[in-house]
Amino acid sequence: MTQTALLAALLLASRTLDDDGHSGAPDVPLPEPGALGGALEAALHKALVGPVAEAIRRSKLPPYLGRKEVMDLTGWSDRKLSYLQSKRRLPYVKRGRTVLFRTADVEAFLMEGYVPAKGAPAPETTGAA
């Protein structure tokens, strides 16, 4: 979205016109479209696009994963998953012979080893769903 379109949308959303075409809000000088730079667009992107993309990604994953799904998602071997399970490094749910892993637990385990790039901020962690 361009800065001009973004400012126009904000103006339309913040002002309502009466029958004479006047807004009830006092006249406030607005910055020129190029004056805000990319700051407003970056702030909107961070506030809206990032969380929406994360919600879409999370909605595609089931809340619980079987061994095969965890191995496919992480690239771990069956032996590696068995080791993490036996050492209780990765929490799991066991009902009878069925073993399930919470998706949030697998993601949290992976993020424990996160090493940020030089000069890059650490990712924001979201609460488990």
pLDDT in tens, 8-40: 555 555 544 455 555 555 565 655 656 566 777
Q: How far is CA 73 from CA 22, 67, 70, in A?
A: 57, 10, 5
Write 47-56 long-range contacts (CB < 8 A, 24+): 54/126
Check residues 119 and 33 and name the one with the higher pLDDT: 119
Residue 51 lies in a domain: yes
Whether residue 79 sits in one domain with residue 46: no
**% of the chain exceeding 70 in pLDDT:** 65
Residue-level pLDDT at 59: 79
Residue 98 lies in a domain: yes
Model confidence at 76, in pLDDT bands (50, 70, 90)?
very high
| Token code pair at residue 121 | 């901020």
Structural domain count, the chain: 2
Residue 55 lies in a domain: yes
Residue 117 has pLDDT above 60, yes or no: yes
- The boundaries of the domain holding residue 1 are 1-10+38-60
Q: How far apart are CA 90 and CA 73, in angstroms?
A: 15
Whether residue 53 sits in one domain with residue 108: no
Q: Which of 79, 88, 89 is nearest to 109 (CA)?
A: 89
Whether residue 113 sits in one domain with residue 95: yes
CATH number of residue 107's parent domain: 1.10.10.10
| Token code pair at residue 40 | 């407003």
Whether residue 82 sits in one domain with residue 54: no
